[in-house]
Amino acid sequence: MWRLGVFFAMLALATLPAPVVRGGAPAGVNATDLSMVDADFAFQGEYAGGVKTPGGQEMRLGAQVIALGAGKFNAVIYAGGLPGDGWTRNDKSAALEGEKHGEAVVLKGDGVSGEIHAEKLTLQHADHPGRAVLETVQRKSPTLGAKPPEGAMVIFDGSGTQMFVEGRINEARLLWAGATTRPLPDSYKLHLEFLSPYMPDARGQGRANSGVYLHDCYEVQVLDSFGLAGKDNECGGIYTVKAPDVNACLPPLAWQTYDFEFTAPKFDTAGKKTLPARLTARHNGILIHDNIPLSHTPGRKGEGPGPRGIHLQAHGNKVQYRNIWLVETK
């Protein structure tokens, strides 16, 4: 009989090790599309399935497998399902390490082993004969490809950079990170989509780093934080201010969405702030910030009255953007 409580009790509850890469881009794979990936890419990603509890009930499990380069992997197992789809921060999670052997990846933890083969992850506890089998899944944001409604301001649709004071488009008609829009309405609903490159050899802040500066002041982090803890300096975090309520980050080379409801700060005639900026944010359709007050984040302008633009930060990594539009609000 599979004993889920024993399974998690025997694993070290921990976030994945992520040493910070300082300086320039690391050596190794730096893929901006599927034609550039290595053989490890096929194993990384999300897995989901169920297991019978001692009482005969079905319990969901989720797993995120992270490629670390040179055939090395980490995996995080979640009780209840994947983050944003059953698992919460109050539920247990556990980390395993593994490496590639032929056409499979072998994973090991304290008392638990696993194998990824033919798009399935099988988990086995050393003291129990039962097995949990999880199959690969590819989640997509429910707002992916959302079309701008009538009256929306289209900022980028691949046709050009007319709405930017600086911005570069690549051959795929996508926008590179390192772009700043012209001044925009103060308060708005904003939709944008981004793609993190696949950088298995990179770690921490060196792995697909960018950011969305709302009002050219408040940074919502963009980072390949797939499988990490979900801190304020990781994807969805408001840099130095607040961690996302859920780490909704998808694997690299999966298009992801941000949907923001942003209200600009208010200032009196003397320039004193009378009301803070506020933000409601959804990452891949999952609520990660609920009408929270914002304070200044480092890297761009200080707080002040608008109109101001949006800055898509360049941080030495090849993050791409598309389908950016907003609807002005009051």
Ranges for all domains in the chain classified under CATH 2.60.120.560: 153-328
- pLDDT tens track for 136-154: 999 999 999 999 999 999 9
Domain 153-328 has what CATH class?
Answer: mainly beta
Note whether 220 and 281 are within 8 A (CB): yes
Task: Give how far the C-alpha of residue 115 lies from the chain's centroid of Cα atoms, to the nearest Å.
Answer: 25
Cis peptide before 307 (omega within 30 of 0): yes
- Which of 6-20, 104-118, 228-242, 277-291 has the least mean pLDDT? 6-20
* The pLDDT value given to residue 91: 86
- Which of 5-14, 224-233, 289-298, 309-318 has the least mean pLDDT? 5-14
Side chain identity, residue 67: A
CA distance 138 to 251: 9
Ranges for all domains in the chain classified under CATH 2.40.128.50: 4-137
Average of per-residue pLDDT across 170-191? 97
* The pLDDT value given to residue 9: 44
* The pLDDT value given to residue 27: 60
CA distance 280 to 262: 7
Listed residue (69, 20, 65) closest to 204, CA to CA: 20
Give the whole-number percent of the chain exceeding pLDDT 90: 81
CA distance 123 to 143: 33
Question: What is the reported pTM?
Answer: 0.90
Side chain identity, residue 76: V
Domain 4-137 has what CATH class?
Answer: mainly beta
As beta bridge partners, residue 94 has 77
Note whether 195 and 256 are within 8 A (CB): yes
Listed residue (70, 72, 79) closest to 107, CA to CA: 72
Please measure the distance between the N-terminal and C-terminal CA atoms of the chain and give it in whole angstroms: 58
